[in-house]
Structure 1
């Protein structure tokens, strides 16, 4: 693990916290939306990339009971399987927009900046929200032999039981934990948890909290002609 950058370290204990605290709040609203869009064209075969703990997978299975759904996560096998997209196949995906457009993540980031003023963690900027430029995404799609056919911003609302639950999710279920440790902090420190919770509470309120979250929705199709000689999808 020592050779892996802190902002990319996933420990065995993280998925459970990620699924419990963050998936229902941050990802399920978009999973419901994306599954509905995918089902609209009634595909018989679906390849899901970056499936994570299965938030979208379960929705796809429910929306497309007769379809073959293959769920994968980031590894070489995923890339190889992806090279078998058939000509004309539909590629539908979303990616987070800028950090400023995400009520929960931007509040967590502001709290981190208060706790680590000299060297605030940039995990949220560079990873979850580091791939939001439509021109860059379109260029990557084209480089992977896909033809972009549509793009639109999509803002949905997420609801959490409390601001404290969101903070727990980030500090125990994401690489932010390792990022904090790399800066000499203790992700289990009650003072850190309280400081981040205070920032979310100041922005979102007490009790059940709701915030807007903006993503970008893209559609593409397999471009005609020979496959490009590239290792990128």
Structure 2
């Protein structure tokens, strides 16, 4: 028997966890996948508990699919650390660890679709900025976001990566971009337009950049995420016994 555990960040308070559960249930509507949801930030349905329940129920193959955009602290220190621990503790159970969602090529397509949707805001005097969460201790998000921006940049249009945290934090990266353009189109590379996105918008406004700034919508559980989740699960299914699906650190 095999169980797929979808690992989401979640929140200790508020209605986000309910929204996440609805998204997952809609993703698997009509499917026969044997899955459970586990939260990293919640007082209930915690990842270690969900894994233990699956083991106690007799599952011999457990696939962990992180519903995270990039590999960073939650991936390595929460999910991968528990994955390693479980492998050592339960050698007769095959554990498979999947890749995050944001590194899939379809996410670059989502960014491109946002640019197309807001094409009436884009001209030669517009700088395109893709804004993500980032991490002060791991550079994988920076590397991944740079790849997306490099892929979408053309001689006529440049895309610039920017982060809330880490080396590419917007306080350092936005002012030089703002000097080149009259307008900035900022694309929030976040799951949803929530607290952090709104807080970051206020912080960017506090920089008092001399530009008109237009924000697109965040991902907001776009249908493309459902496709990517299915792909990540399929990748796990292809692993025979030992996980080789972990992205190498750079």
| TM-score, normalization by structure 2 | 0.34
| TM-score, normalization by structure 1 | 0.36
